[in-house]
Structure 1
Amino acid sequence: MDTEDLRLAVYTSFALTGRAPEFSVLAERFGAGEARSGLRALHEGRHLVLGPGDEVVMAHPFSSVPLGFAVMGAWTLWWGGCAWDSFAMPHLLPGDPEVLVSTRCPGCGAPHAWSVGRDAPPSGNQVAHFLVPVSRMWDDVVRTCGNQRLFCGEACVDEWLARTGNDRGYVMDVSTLWRLARGWYAGRLDRGYRRREPTQAAEYLREAGLRGRFWGLPEE
């Protein structure tokens, strides 16, 4: 089965409604067997993430489950899969050049919100902490995304790490997060989308300002 129509059906549903399409809708359009095998192929190809019963849990940057972020556009409300995905939304959605991203600091519970647009990073002294290094991000994608969070600052990151027993991952400021997010999903709503090759991905990460082994990049 050519899965491109199926992939676009999933992504278009998320983009327009904030929700994954019901399997019954996909089965009616593509046939139940073809839809199920196609979803599994897309999962294996890392175009989406399936949960129990082949439910679509994530189709980055979209999520069907809450992972700490809400993203509000002009007419649609989405779950933001993580800090990275939430900041990517306005760069991907043609009808929403600016969105409101909201969350709570995992360290102290303080609420935060940013108006995130396409032209420049939002202001703010908060920091993003990514727990899982790039080489292991797909071991458990939901856990990875659930631990890409925004904190009040370094002190809240340290408090959360001490409380949870996690080792420190990678910390970046809001501007770096915006640069990371702005072009990462470019073309994902278009027919014929292709994931970046590893060398292209590494160059993109470097241009966003990321460094070091956490991102699979040489130390500088």
Structure 2
Amino acid sequence: MDIEELRLGVYRGFAATGRAPDPADLAKGLRATPEEVARGLRELADRRHVVLDGAGRVVMAHPFSAVPLGFSVMGAATLWWGGCAWDSFALPHLLRGEFDEPEVVVATRCLGCGTAHAWAVGRDAPPPGDQVAHFLVPVAHMWDDVVHTCGNQRIFCGEACVGHWLERTGHERGYVMDLPTLWRFARHWYDGRLDRGYVRREPDAAAGYFREVGLEGSFWGL
């Protein structure tokens, strides 16, 4: 079985339907056995292309999520769970060609006060708004527990709501960015992920990207 075809099957399935592809469907499409697909998914997880649960099911294939983590992303005909603020803002940039979604509606709720928020997020410019995104887990530890990390990359009404949430939860402050920075951050991070031959960035390339979009400090390993 071609492991790259399996990766593409997972990602393109998410792109087309908003849901993780069923392993049986992947096996049928790849003319593989369920055991081969299960081994392939574990290999993709080891390479950090997908995140699996304890039963071996795909939970995340960034920027797609099979579980709700605080965001919904609505396209013209498809609804996705947004894995986090970063991933939700990335979807219109990734979804091109046969999956073309030049603008999506990203919806969430502020963890500080419960206020609902929604933005039309497109490719040309950041959406307007004074809200801020708070990332809790530093980049060096984001893969320690990916679901926890993504579930704590959220958007708040502003700094005051971030402070209320931190006080209530006992968490230490992470990294706060405005919506334009979040949009720039998401814009090209996943470039090529729906194409054959995609290669994840090495740490030096990732650090260069972080600097390019305006991130700074030890939180990002800079």
Could you tell me which residue of structure 2 aligns to residue 87 of structure 1? 89
User: Which residue type is aligned with residue 176 of structure 1?
Assistant: T
SS in 2 for 1:211: coil
| Pair 1:162 & 2:164 matched | no
TM-score by length of 2: 0.96
Query: For this pair of structures, how many residues does the alignment match?
Result: 217
Q: Give the one of 89, 110, 117 matched to 2:122.
A: 117
Identity between Structure 1 and Structure 2 (%): 70
Residues 37-71 of structure 1: CA deviation (Å, up to 9, x unaligned) = 00000000000100021010000000000000000
In structure 2, C-alpha distance between the alignment counterparts of 1:89 and 1:27, rounded to whole Å: 26
In structure 1, C-alpha distance between the alignment counterparts of 2:174 and 2:156, rounded to whole Å: 13
Alignment of 1:56-95 (within 5 A): 56-94=58-96, 95=100
Could you tell me which residue of structure 1 aligns to residue 131 of structure 2? 126
| Pair 1:14 & 2:14 matched | yes
TM-score by length of 1: 0.97
User: Once the 2 structures are TM-superposed, how far is the Cα of residue 27 of structure 1 from its aligned partner?
Assistant: 2.7
Alignment of 1:208-219 (within 5 A): 208-217=213-222
Could you tell me which residue of structure 2 aligns to residue 37 of structure 1? 39
Residues 85-129 of structure 1: CA deviation (Å, up to 9, x unaligned) = 000000000110100000000000000001000011111000000
- Structure 1 runs of 4+ aligned residues shifted over 4 Å read none
In structure 2, C-alpha distance between the alignment counterparts of 1:109 and 1:61, rounded to whole Å: 24
Structure 2 stretches of 5 or more lacking a match? none
Q: RMSD in angstroms over aligned alpha carbons?
A: 0.7
Could you tell me which residue of structure 2 aligns to residue 194 of structure 1? 199
User: Which residue type is aligned with residue 19 of structure 1?
Assistant: R
Could you tell me which residue of structure 2 aligns to residue 97 of structure 1? 102
| Pair 1:175 & 2:196 matched | no
Structure 1 stretches of 5 or more lacking a match? none
In structure 2, C-alpha distance between the alignment counterparts of 1:26 and 1:98, rounded to whole Å: 29
SS in 1 for 2:128: coil
User: Once the 2 structures are TM-superposed, how far is the Cα of residue 25 of structure 1 from its aligned partner?
Assistant: 1.1
SS in 2 for 1:53: coil
User: Once the 2 structures are TM-superposed, how far is the Cα of residue 11 of structure 1 from its aligned partner?
Assistant: 0.4
In structure 1, C-alpha distance between the alignment counterparts of 2:123 and 2:82, rounded to whole Å: 17
